[in-house]
Amino acid sequence: MLLAASIPLSKFATSVCMFSIFGSWLLSPWNGRFDLLKSHWKSIVAMTGLFLVFAIGLWNTENTAYALKDLQIKLPLLFMPLALLTGPQFESKQVLNVFGFLSVGAFVSAFIGYSHYLYISNDNPENFRAMSPFISHIRLSLMLCFSLIFYYYLLLKIKSNLKWLLVLPCGFILFFLSEIQSLTALVVLPVILCATLLFFPPWRQSKKLGRIIGGGFLVVILILSYKVQEFYQEEFKTAELPVKLPGRTINGAPYIHDITNLLTENGNRVGLFYCEEELKREWKKASNFSIDSMVNGYPLEVPLCRFLTSRNYTKDSLGVSKLTPTEIKAIEKGMGNHRFLDGKGIETRVRTTLWEIKRWKDNKSDYQSSVTMRIFIWENARIIMKNNLWTGVGQGDVEDELRKQYSKTIKVDPNKMKRTHNQYFTVAIAVGFVGLLVFVFLFLYPFAMYDGPFKYLYIMGGLILFLSMLWEDTIETQAGVALFGLLIHVPFAQYLREKQSGKS
């Protein structure tokens, strides 16, 4: 339970808890332990097999030092199943406590993080990643998504009217996920909400409660769908060229109209009404930042031109002179659309993502944004996987091979593209296609076998992890491995132990 609470709050405490679990298992009496190993050997092989899949990748690796460091992070995948299945038996109530401590820890982490963000936001309002000061915002988002599922489960199970107090943390979590602009949550939440309505609908427990919760779920899904569709239409609508394009600015300087540039901002063409001479001269008067300085991987001129276009201002002295001090500061931090000043949270994330996709569609040489960077990485990862289909490149050589592949295509910053941002690609590159099949089988095995009291929570936890591994290297970090062990191994081990003792 301490481990569950520590994951979203402290890397150090997480490490201490893991060492404590492993140490207590080693030092506890071994009487009867071999009988337990014999009874659960199939499940032990399946659960520890995930670690063994990665360990097999040592045989052909060249970067052994990195491989051993990577396996050290994944050690909990080996010792947690052993400790849970051959250590002291625990009850189903304790599994529920583990889920509860994880959910409370995630809520506290989010609350502290948001308070921290409010304190620093006056100096840097765009630094929304500061809302997750303890761990990666992606890992925290996954835990918060599971927390919503857990609180929903409690709402259906608790009889006391005090259960409605759970609406408060649920509301804050939804607000927080919106403010932190988590694309992971934006993808995961609608899926788990739809899965909940299909497989664990609230009206089965209570018609009145079902109408309230089910209606709320549907409203959230419909609003999200409508908003995404609205933003998509705005971003991808065809921008018509003006009937007549003026040749000069009001000051007489020549315009450049790049009609081949299809990039738009709020329906306006970025490539039109551009005067480099006036733009640079006027920006130098307005800001202390050089127009050629880099921000978020781009020259500052890029967000400047985008921002002016979003306002339907010309890219010349007149356009820059119309910018307010607040807008100038926003441009200096890389903001490329005035709507990001007005809109907040999830709206900004959706608009940014659609803009990134459109820019990739129009110009496949842009790899700076989080979405297009992943597209670029996945394309290169697929090439490496195809060239090493059966054996992989070795557990320690994934990053090295990615860097080699990048050098064949385009010059990129390797520090920004260390991993594939897809757990399945990472496994396939490391140990080959057969290793990937074994990994997926071992991941799904507990769900096929589990029939315990927390089936809904178990399946939803697995679904969250499954989806996250499409977007991130979920179990390549300490927090991801610990979360995997708690959501997958703890309930499954308790179910097997309880089934053996004849209680279910």
More confident residue, 73 or 374: 73
Say whether pLDDT at 495 is over 80: yes
Question: Hey, is 165 helix, strand or coil?
Answer: helix
Q: Which of 39-53, 325-339, 368-382 has the lowest mean pLDDT?
A: 368-382
What does the pLDDT read at residue 504?
44
Question: What pLDDT does residue 415 have?
Answer: 56
| b/e code 273-298 from CB counts within 10 Å (16+ = b) | bbbeebbbebbeebbebebeeebeee
- Summarised one tens digit per residue, pLDDT across range 106-119 is 999 999 988 878 77
Extents of the domains making up the chain: 2-231+413-500, 264-342
pLDDT score, position 178: 80
The pairs formed by 279-282 with CB atoms below 8 angstroms and a separation of 24 or more are: 279/304, 279/305, 279/315, 279/316, 279/317, 279/319, 279/320, 281/317, 282/316, 282/317, 282/320, 282/321
Q: Compute the average pLDDT of residues 34-60.
A: 84
Give the model's pLDDT for residue 29: 72
Task: Report whether pLDDT(230) > 50.
Answer: yes
Mean pLDDT computed over 361-371: 63
- E strand or H helix that includes residue 268: strand 268-269
Task: Give the residue from 134, 106, 187, 240 showing the smallest Cα distance to 353.
Answer: 187
Q: How confident is the model at residue 366 (pLDDT cuts 50, 70, 90)?
A: low
- Could you tell me where the DSSP H helices lie in 237-272? none
Among candidate residues 21, 14, 163, the one with its CA nearest the CA of residue 101: 14
Q: Which residues contact 475 (CB under 8 A, 6 or more apart)?
A: 74, 77, 423, 469, 481, 484
In the predicted structure, residue 342 carries a pLDDT above the cut 80: no
Highest mean pLDDT of the ranges 1-5, 333-337, 458-462: 458-462
Lowest average pLDDT, out of 147-156, 248-257, 353-362, 397-406, goes to 353-362
pLDDT of residue 310: 86
Question: Would you say 391 and 434 are in contact if contact means Cβ atoms under 8 Å apart?
Answer: no
Whether residue 147 has pLDDT greater than 90: yes
* Structure token digits, residue 415: 């520090």
Question: Which range, of 61-75, 174-188, 285-299, 331-345, averages the lowest pLDDT?
Answer: 331-345
Alpha carbon distance 193, 201 (integer Å): 10
Indicate the pairing of strand 298-299 with strand 294-295.
antiparallel
**The predicted structure's pLDDT at residue 429:** 92
Distance CA 472, CA 502 (A): 40
pLDDT band at 195 (very low <50, low <70, confident <90, very high): confident
Can you point out the beta strands (E) in 88-166?
Answer: none
How confident is the prediction for the chain on average, in pLDDT? 82
Looking at residue 321, what is its pLDDT?
92
Name the token pair of 265: 């901002």
Given a cut of 70, whether residue 343 has pLDDT beyond it is no
Question: Is residue 27 predicted with pLDDT exceeding 90?
Answer: no
Q: How far is CA 301 from CA 183, 279, 320, 411, 449, in A?
A: 27, 9, 12, 21, 57
Instruction: Grade residue 126 by pLDDT with cuts at 50, 70 and 90.
Output: low
CA neighbours within 13 Å on the CB side: how many for 93? 0
- Tens of pLDDT, residues 285-308: 999 888 888 887 678 898 899 899
Model pLDDT for residues 155-189, shown as the tens digit of each residue: 888 888 888 888 899 889 988 888 887 777 878 88
Interval 401-419: pLDDT, tens: 888 887 776 655 555 566 7
Residue 471 pLDDT = 84
Instruction: Tell me what pLDDT residue 363 has.
Output: 63
Q: What is the pLDDT of residue 234?
A: 66
